[in-house]
Structure formats: structure tokens, C-alpha cells
Amino acid sequence: MKNSIETIKNKFDEKNFEKIKNINNQYLNDFIVKHIELLNPKSIFVCNDSEEDFNYIRNKAIMDGEEIKLNKANRTLHFDGIYDQARDKKRTKFLLPKGVNFGDGLNTIDKEEGLADTNDIMSEIMNDRELLILFFTLGPANSPFTIPAIQLTDSSYVAHSEIILYRPGYEEFKRFGNCDKYFGFVHSEGELENAVSINIDKRRIYIDTEEDIVYSMNTQYGGNTIGLKKLAMRLAISKASKEGWLTEHMFISGVHGPGSRVTYFSGAFPSMCGKTSTAMLGGETIIGDDIAYIKNIEGEGRAVNVEAGLFGIIKDINPDDDPMIWEILNGEDEVIFSNVLITEDRDVCWIGKPGEVPERGINYSGQWKPGKVDEDGNEITPSHKNARFTTNLKNLDNLDPKFDDPNGVKLGGIIYGGRDSDTWVPVLEAYNWEHGIVTAGASIESETTAATLGKTGVRTFSPMSNLDFLSIPIGKYVDINIKFGQSLQEVPRIFGVNYFLKGNDGEYLNSKLDKVVWLKWMELRVNNEVGAIDIGTGFIPRYEDLKKMFKKFLGKDYAEEDYVRQFTLRIPENISKNERITDIYKNISRGVPDILFEILRDQKLKLLELKKEKGDYISPLKF
């Protein structure tokens, strides 16, 4: 400790040295020194979670040009480079020691090779800029769920985003003392031009689950750089797999039932599939919209939100469908907008925002006006399809009072959803935990969206909507999920939902707000207060119950014809999906539990029996 603390003393000014010294952690000092020597920053700032330090970072983001002040206080705008607008899956890799194999579907690189590449790119990368050191906790502080985390970055935008999105952790590090159990994140945006990263060919995101460190370089986009988000999720999935709990790509919400009852649900949806809008439904309360830790605490599955903020997609947000988010985006609370259009009066515009599109402005592509095209002749929209907003959950009127409960909340149900135009009904309850994990969670297929680089509209497979973030073999991940439920005394029910089912005319069969009714029905099912119909793939609502609920919660009539169109069992499509999923898991080299194939086989046999008895398309009224 003496050597590392002396090195720190020589590198830091007195004020920032005292901040590190007060933590009194040898392992942390060694981590800091190692990376200071690699990065060779011009200066160093340590954030101790005081408002003074937070304001230093906010002001620095403006001074650096990484954020632009808007026409309201506490509102800023950040631009990523035109080729730095989404998660870079190709260059996001796990560092694996020789002899270690993660199995199929995970992007890996030899650890020695990856670290050599990191050291080459990051060597002296901060010699003309300031290193920012920040401390956070993943999950509530002083909790069975707490994981402390340290971020090293030269991006004031990344630092500003994280102080909005995460719980402060400086005091928690002091409480932990000389502890080596923390996550470390090292990021540099690299060389900048007009305040955006330009060396995209040297963009790298390397994840070391042995050392619990993530390296990110030559990128600013939040999904590649905000270390505590999906990058930390990969570290936590590995950690959870060793310790017998779950790290999931899930929201957590309190659904309010009769009387004063609140039933908590978590839910996993691929990006742009209704996850945040489900978590944010009016009349309900939110704990989190993105990442959950779930642990067995005294026989109950209990969950916490890893984060304290929202890094949400802004496309199509409007006052009718998203009233609470709309209010924040147009109010006085602190918000960072990213990759939207800034107008001449320093307001912002995004795709789907009500009102007329401005005649001119500035966006991530530079000066913009309607009709502008990129080098391939494609129209450049006012905002990027993956444009975001960043704000703290405390700004929400519907934040659940148990948001910071150190023991989390007891889950009554888990929901899995995706973009599916032709197979899943709008809402269905699984027969039991294992059936739900296999046929809903482990069978998620969804159309790709603008949140990842590559083509859109392609149906992709993502178990529990987590494939992009797995740091363990897929088969092992599914097996851990199955076994976790088997370890509980009180087991959450599992549901599948589909907001994107289409009719033969190509029109959606669900309206955007129908999810209110699906969620209320699930809450009643968890509490054994409403019946259901067994259709061979699980349980669906009865028409008479939905008719009453549509009237009660949405104030509209619900026609039997709509019920039949929405809840008809589409046997050919379900069999096709069953066969696709079975083939996917058969081609996974190892670790897939036998029970998965047993459940899929039994499901297919039941579908074939129903087909023989009732035909290809079976009305729910015939069950």
C-alpha cells in the first residue's frame, strides 16, 4: 500500500490525494496507480459525491464542448459521432485466459492479446486531458445486493451521465475499507474532433470477468462507455452465476391491485419492445426500467434496481402515451438529451415529437434540414432512431417508496416480451416456473431495432432478452435461471406478452395502452383472483374478464371479435417457433439442461394434438 499511495501522492494535487487516501483501500490504490501509469493523464479529479464535485463535472461537460446548454436550466444536449450511435457488438469482447471457453454465441478474444491491444491503444491516451475518478454503488448502499464500482474516464459527458444514473458510492467505499470486491471501469473517448470520438477503427470494449474490469476506448455512446450499465451487467452475470443469484435485463414495477395491494413484477424485453413504457404505466409505481439483481432471501425471490436513473430511447415519446416522461422532458428537472436535433432557439426535436418538424437545426450529422441524406443516399432523420435521454428516477412522480429498500421487493411475477408479429398472443401465463423459463424467457425472438449496429427488422434470438450481455455460456445461463426458481419457497409466476401481434392486413392487433389491461390481469392472476383458459401453451384471459377490465381501466368497449383475433392460437406459427428454438439449443455445444428439450418436446406434441383435433387456427372460444 505504501508504494501505491506514494505514487498517488506524487500524481495528485493535495485535495484530490486526500480524497483517495480517506478511502484507505490498498487494492483500490493499486488499481488506480496501474491505470494512471498507462493513461498518463495531464491532471486528475476525484469526485467525492459532494454537490460541489458534481457541479464541477456538470460545468466541465459544457466547457469541454461535450454538452451544449439548452434553453432551460439543467438541460443539456450531447452528440455522439455519426458512426458512434449504438452498442458496438462486433468489438465488444470478453478477455479469456488460454484454455477457457465460453461456448457458442459469445464474442471473445485471448486475454493476453486483448490486454496488449488495450495497452497499445490506451498508452498515454490522456496525456493532454484530465482523468475523472468517480465512485458508485450498483444496487442500494449497505445492502445484500450492493456492489461498489469505480469509474476512470476522460469524458465529462460519461461522468455526468453516471452521476445522474447511479447511486453515489464514495462513502460506501469508505465503509467497505480495504476490500478487493468491486467492479472497475476504465474509459477513454480518445482523440476528438468537434468534441466527438473520431478513431472509430480503434474502438474497443473489452471485458475481463476474472478481474472484474471493463476497458472501453475511442467511443462516447453511452452503451459502450457508461461502464455501470450493460458493461457492469456482464460482470454481474458472471458474479451471480458463481454465487447463486440472477442478474437480469429487467424492469421492476409495482402494479396496484384492489385496495392498497401492490404486487411487484420484473420484466425482460429487447430494446424498443415496450419495456420502459410497461415500467412507466400510469397509476403504477416504478423501481427500475432496465437491470435487476434478483436474490433468494429467506425463500423469496427479491429484486433491486441496479441503477438510479433512466437512459431511455426518446423516439416517439409523446404526452398521450408517455405522460410522465413527457413531463420530465419538458419540465425543469436535470436531463441530458443525446443525438436529437437542436433548434435555433435551443430547443430539441426528436422523431415522433408532436408538432411541426423544424425547417433547420443541428444534429449528430451537423447542419440539418428536411431531406438531408447520408453518403449512401439514406434520409437523415431529425434525431437518430436510437437517440436518448438521461434523467434521475427521483424526478418521477411515480417512483415506488421501496426503491431504495436494502432488501429489495418480493417478486410476484416475471414478464417476458418481444417483437413478434405472428405467433405469441398478447398475454399468456406459463404453467409453472420451468415451463415459463423455457417457453417464454429462453425462447424470446424479436425483430432487431436501431439500438444495435446492423440491419433492422431481422428476427433474432435472445434468451431472457440477455444474449448481448451474457458473460457465461448460454446453456449454463438457462440452467441457472431454472434452478434459481427451484430454490425458492415462494415462486413468482411467469408470463409472456406480445404488443406487436399483427392481423392478416398487417395492422397491429394491440393498441399501445392495451398493456394496462394485460398487466392488471397478471396482477389478479398472481393473487388468485381471476380465472383463465388453458389453450395448450399456457393460460390466457377469459373474454368476460377482459371486457370488464377494458371498460374499467381504459374506458372503452372490448369486442369479442377483437378478443378472438388477439387470442386465437396460431398452431403452425407456434410449431415453427418451437422447432426453431429447439434447433438453436441443439446447436449450442454444451450446458443446455435436458429439461429444456423435454418441455419443448411436450409443448410440440400438445400443439400437434390440438391441430389434429381443432385445426390450424383455434379461437379461444373453442377451449
Regarding whether 545 and 615 lie in a shared domain, the answer is yes
Catalytic residue among 47, 179, 273, 349: 273
Query: Could you tell me which residue, 223 or 122, shows the higher pLDDT?
Result: 122
pLDDT tens, 176-190?
A: 989 999 999 999 999
Report percent pLDDT > 90 for the chain.
83
Q: Which cell is 334 given?
A: 436535470
Give me the residue label for grid cell 447520408: 374
Q: Flag whether 590 is in a domain.
A: yes
The whole-number pLDDT of residue 457 equals 57
Helix (H, G, I), strand (E, B) or coil at 197: strand
Find the mean pLDDT for residues 55-74: 96
Regarding whether 215 and 152 lie in a shared domain, the answer is yes
Region of residue 272 (phi > 0: left; psi between -120 and 50: alpha; otherwise: beta): left
The whole-number pLDDT of residue 446 equals 84
Q: Flag whether 93 is in a domain.
A: yes
**Whole-number Cα distances in Å, 405 to 140, 202, 288, 303, 408:** 7, 42, 13, 10, 5
- Chosen domain end from 350, 378, 394: 394
Regarding whether 584 and 502 lie in a shared domain, the answer is yes
CA gap 498, 5 in Å, rounded: 55
452, pLDDT greater than 80: no
CA gap 28, 46 in Å, rounded: 13
> What contacts 439, CB < 8 A, 6 or more positions away?
430, 496, 537, 538, 599, 600, 603
> Residue 180 sits in a domain of what CATH number?
3.40.449.10
Amino acid at 136: F
The whole-number pLDDT of residue 276 equals 79
Nearest Cα residue to 443 out of 503, 391, 492, 494 = 494
Identify the bridge partners of residue 92 per DSSP, sorted by sequence position: 205
The whole-number pLDDT of residue 1 equals 46
Regarding whether 150 and 163 lie in a shared domain, the answer is yes
pLDDT tens, 540-571?
A: 999 999 999 999 999 999 999 999 999 999 99
Regarding whether 148 and 109 lie in a shared domain, the answer is yes
241, pLDDT greater than 50: yes
> Residue 365 sits in a domain of what CATH number?
2.170.8.10
The whole-number pLDDT of residue 118 equals 97
Q: Flag whether 322 is in a domain.
A: yes
454, pLDDT greater than 60: no
pLDDT tens, 500-545?
A: 999 988 899 988 889 999 999 999 999 999 999 999 999 999 999 9
Q: Flag whether 77 is in a domain.
A: no
Regarding whether 390 and 269 lie in a shared domain, the answer is no
Do residues 478 and 491 touch, judged by C-beta distance below 8 A?
no
Q: Which cell is 66 given?
A: 461535450
174, pLDDT greater than 50: yes
Please indicate whether residue 273 is annotated as part of the active site.
yes
* DSSP label of 614: H
Do residues 434 and 386 touch, judged by C-beta distance below 8 A?
no
166, pLDDT greater than 90: yes
Q: Flag whether 158 is in a domain.
A: yes
Do residues 118 and 215 touch, judged by C-beta distance below 8 A?
yes
Do residues 204 and 216 touch, judged by C-beta distance below 8 A?
yes
- Chosen domain end from 243, 263, 284: 243
Confidence band, pLDDT 50/70/90 cuts, at residue 2? low
**Whole-number Cα distances in Å, 28 to 22, 34, 421:** 12, 10, 50
451, pLDDT greater than 70: no
Regarding whether 364 and 292 lie in a shared domain, the answer is no
The whole-number pLDDT of residue 489 equals 97
Do residues 150 and 291 touch, judged by C-beta distance below 8 A?
no
Q: Which cell is 225 given?
A: 462507455
Helix (H, G, I), strand (E, B) or coil at 37: helix
Regarding whether 192 and 103 lie in a shared domain, the answer is yes
Q: Which helix (H) or strand (E) holds 600?
A: helix 594-614
163, pLDDT greater than 90: yes
Q: Flag whether 579 is in a domain.
A: yes
| Angle (deg, nearest 10), helices 2-11 and 14-21 | 150
Mean pLDDT of the chain: 93
Range of the domain at 328: 311-394
Q: Dihedral of the CA atoms 548, 551, 553, 556 (nearest 10)? A: 150
Interior angle at CA 519, CA 388 and CA 264, nearest 5:
80
- Number of domains observed in the structure of the chain: 3
3, pLDDT greater than 80: no
Regarding whether 148 and 179 lie in a shared domain, the answer is yes
372, pLDDT greater than 90: yes
The whole-number pLDDT of residue 455 equals 56
103, pLDDT greater than 90: no
The whole-number pLDDT of residue 450 equals 52
Regarding whether 408 and 428 lie in a shared domain, the answer is yes
Nearest Cα residue to 307 out of 244, 206, 396 = 396
Query: Could you tell me which residue, 98 or 538, shows the higher pLDDT?
Result: 538
Q: Flag whether 76 is in a domain.
A: no
Regarding whether 267 and 238 lie in a shared domain, the answer is no
> Residue 599 sits in a domain of what CATH number?
3.90.228.20
104, pLDDT greater than 70: no
Nearest Cα residue to 151 out of 52, 236, 304, 32 = 32
Confidence band, pLDDT 50/70/90 cuts, at residue 96? very high
- Chosen domain end from 360, 394, 428: 394
Q: Which cell is 206 given?
A: 473489452
Q: Flag whether 363 is in a domain.
A: yes
CA gap 88, 95 in Å, rounded: 16
Confidence band, pLDDT 50/70/90 cuts, at residue 321? confident
The whole-number pLDDT of residue 257 equals 96
Do residues 364 and 85 touch, judged by C-beta distance below 8 A?
yes
Regarding whether 186 and 51 lie in a shared domain, the answer is yes
